[in-house]
Amino acid sequence: MAEKRDESSGVLQTVAMEQKSQLLVDSNPEVTKQMVSTSAVHRMNDPNDLVTLAQYVQTADDFTKATVGGKLELIADQIKALQDQARQVLESAKRDVELNHAKCNFRRIPGKVYHLFRKESDGSTYFSMLSPEEWGDRATDTFIDSYRLEYDMSWTPLSKIQERDERRRLDAQLLGVDREQAKQLSLEC
């Protein structure tokens, strides 16, 4: 049987004694004076109880590691999702700044769709109220895309207007706002 000497007390200990001291609560002599039977409290019925207790501790450690690993993986996924959202916000903001600086000879009204063109002569961009179809053969500049000016002064590409409107309707439902309130808050078009 493997033995080693306890450095603090100088007492010889077996591996089993060391495991027992690591896994079991030390008894307090002051408390045991008041007990009727200390052997009922401190006895180990089965020598395998110590092994079972050690296995329990190991299993608990394994579960803790797995739980922590799962939670950290979830946090990492959330961080990646937030980074992706941040990238999308920055791209949208850059696009909105560029669109806000496009030339325009009329007052832009939120909720209206405008058509962006690029002049062939100098490469500058401008908004038109007329779509490429309305210009017909008279259009001399390159059509880029159509956008709706939102009430928060952001721009939504024509191809994504329906998706944005559906998302805003869903947001109103999630907020518990009825149809009339949603219209007042411009959550529903």
Count: domains in the chain: 1
User: Does 77 map to a domain?
Assistant: yes
User: Does 131 map to a domain?
Assistant: no
Average pLDDT over residues 170-181: 73
The residue among 185 and 65 whose pLDDT is bigger is 65
Tokens matching residue 62:
């394994």
Least confident range from 42-46, 62-66, 78-82, 99-103: namely 42-46
The residue among 54 and 10 whose pLDDT is bigger is 54
Half-sphere exposure of 42 (CA within 13 A, CB side): 14
- Parent domain of 62: 48-101
User: Does 107 map to a domain?
Assistant: no
User: Does 97 map to a domain?
Assistant: yes
Give pTM, 2 decimals: 0.57
User: Does 158 map to a domain?
Assistant: no
| Residue 31 pLDDT > 80 | no
Which SS3 state, helix, strand or coil, does residue 128 take? Answer: strand
Numbers of helices and strands, H then E, in the chain: 7, 6
Please provide residue 103's backbone torsions phi and psi, each rounded to the nearest 5 degrees.
-65, 150
Residue 13, beta-bridge partner list = 4
User: Does 7 map to a domain?
Assistant: no
CB 168 within 8 A of CB 149: no
User: Does 161 map to a domain?
Assistant: no
User: Does 116 map to a domain?
Assistant: no
Distance separating alpha carbons of residues 144 and 28, to the nearest angstrom: 83
